[in-house]
Amino acid sequence: MSIFIEATIKVIAAFVFLLLTTLIIIWAERKWVSDLQNRIGPDRAGPFGILQSLADGAKAFFKESIRPARADFVIYMAAPIAAVLPALLIFLVIPIGAPVEIGGTEYTLQVMDLNIGLLYVLALSSIAVYAITLAGWSSGSKYPLLGAVRASAQMISYEAAMGLALVPVVLFAGTTSIAGIVDGQQGTFGAFLPAWNIVLLPSFVIFLIAGFAETNRAPFDLVEAESEIVGGYHTEYSGLTFAMFFLAEYINVFNISALTATLFLGGWAGPVPDFLPTAIQWLVPIFWFLLKTWAVVFLFVWVRATLPRMRYDQLMAFGWKRLIPVSLAWIILCAVAIGFREFGAPWS
């Protein structure tokens, strides 16, 4: 099969998978939050309200798109697209299962295994900042402007922490290819303890915290803090354009969860030996991947239902005074450990 056909099929499959997942995440979040809050949650559209996000999407689609008179039209319309595109693109480098053999050819369950996979992810998540900042700025309104300023400060500083948290992972894996990092986590420590990167605990925690901040989720949702600045950057958006920001946020939640599962929780590698018959053996890694990812998604929702929102200055202080120094120290520690491992102790 030509590589182009293969890529096309994979891209379409990934796109459909991502959109479907997002619809389910939105529904699942509302269901979980309502369970945590003693509410019923959506239960009208479809069984258990599972079609709720679809109904909301349809509603947004048919709603009038209101544009403020003072908005900068081109940027105002481009910002939602700039929010969705990077979110969609990040997913392309995440492997959702072990390579599959069909008719003698091996196919990876990953759209593209870039050798600079991690850098690609970081670069794209930086672009997402532009979308939010420009959306806030181009709305020509005050609350969105406040949201935009918050977004640029917050996402840039947490971008740094996130990047630094990933350095030890790269150091130990010796590659920035995401498939390579997953391969590095196969096998076990000792008898049965899976050799996942979660042993790099500081990295894991910092990456997760920075992930919360990157996706503007509670307790770092001050970019769109409803009780303070109404809706933040998307205050002036309505209809489809608003839906696109909404979509981007949830795709990002899934992306960060998938990345956490991939980089720290062993990706598609399972903690128990394979047990299914060979014919459907390829489903098992996908199951593990989805299980881990959804566990992290649940963590996102749980945190949102529990924690209050941080304040702007506290958020910045936390990022620059805690996360970044800790991750720098941790990088040095890891580098020294690797140095010992590779070259032996300098005194020996």
Partner 1 sequence: MSDTTDLTADVPAEEVEEASVSVAEERRAAHDVWVSGTEERMPFATGTDEGAQEMLPSDIDPALAIQEGIEVDDDYVDEDDDHDFGDRQIINMGPQHPSTHGVLRLQMELEGETVVRVKPIIGYLHTGMEKTAETLNYAQGATNVTRMDYLSPFHNELAYSLTVEQLLGIDVPPRANAIRVLMTELNRVSSHLLWAATQGMDIGALSMMIYGWRERETCLDFFEKTTGLRMNHNYIRVGGVAADLPDGWRDDVASLITTVSRGVDEYEQLLNENPIFLDRTMGVGVITPKEVEQFGITGPMARASGVNWDLRKEMPYCGIDQYEFDVPLGKYGDVHDRYEVRIAEIRESLKIVEQVMDSMPSGDYRTEDRKVTPPPRKRIDESMEALIHHFKLFTEGIAVPPGTAYQAVEGPRGEIGCMMISKGGSRPWRMHWRAPSFAAVQALPVMMTDSLVADVVASLASADPVLGDVDR
Residues forming contacts to partner 1 in the complex (CB under 8 A) are 33, 36-39, 142-143, 146, 149-150, 218-219, 221-222, 225-230, 304-314
Pick 188 or 314: Cβ nearer partner 1: 314
At residue 31, the 3 state secondary structure works out as helix
User: Minimal distance in Å, beta carbon 23 to partner 1?
Assistant: 22
User: Minimal distance in Å, beta carbon 65 to partner 1?
Assistant: 21
User: Minimal distance in Å, beta carbon 300 to partner 1?
Assistant: 13
Q: In Å, what is the CA distance from 265 to each residue of 40, 150, 215, 280?
A: 32, 31, 20, 23
Query: What tokens appear for 293 in the block?
Result: 């990812």
Pick 38 or 278: Cβ nearer partner 1: 38
Pick 213 or 263: Cβ nearer partner 1: 213
Query: What tokens appear for 5 in the block?
Result: 């056909």
Nearest Cα neighbor of 145 from 153, 154, 133, 157 is 133
Pick 19 or 230: Cβ nearer partner 1: 230
Tell me how far the alpha carbon of residue 71 is from its chain's centroid: 30
- 139-172 in b/e burial notation, b at 16+ Cβ within 10 A? bebebbbbbbbbbbbbbebbbbbbbbbbbbbbbb
User: Minimal distance in Å, beta carbon 234 to partner 1?
Assistant: 14
Pick 246 or 288: Cβ nearer partner 1: 246
Helix axes 142-173, 117-138, angle to 10 degrees: 180
User: Minimal distance in Å, beta carbon 342 to partner 1?
Assistant: 40
